[in-house]
Amino acid sequence: MKLTFEDLVRILRCSFRLQCPQCSKGALFQTYFKMFTHCPQCNLKFERESGYFIGAMYLNYGATVLIAFPSYFLIETFTPIPFFFNLSIWGLFSAIFPVLFYRYSKSIWLNFDYTLSA
Q: Which string of DSSP letters, residue by residue, matches 64-111?
A: HHHHHHHHHHHHHHHS---HHHHHHHHHHHHHHHHHHHHHHHHHHHHH
pLDDT of 2 strictly over 90: no
Q: What is the pLDDT of residues 16-61, one digit of tens each?
A: 999 999 999 999 999 999 999 999 999 999 998 999 999 999 999 9
> At a CB cut-off of 8 Å and minimum separation 6, what does 111 contact?
11, 12, 14, 15, 21
> Which pLDDT belongs to residue 1?
65
Q: Give the pLDDT of residue 114.
A: 93
Q: What percent of the chain has pLDDT over 70?
A: 98
**What domain range includes position 56?**
5-117
Cβ atoms of 37 and 45 within 8 Å: the answer is yes
Task: Supply φ then ψ for residue 43, to 5 degrees.
Answer: 65, 25
Number of structural domains the chain divides into: 1
DSSP class of residue 23?
A: T
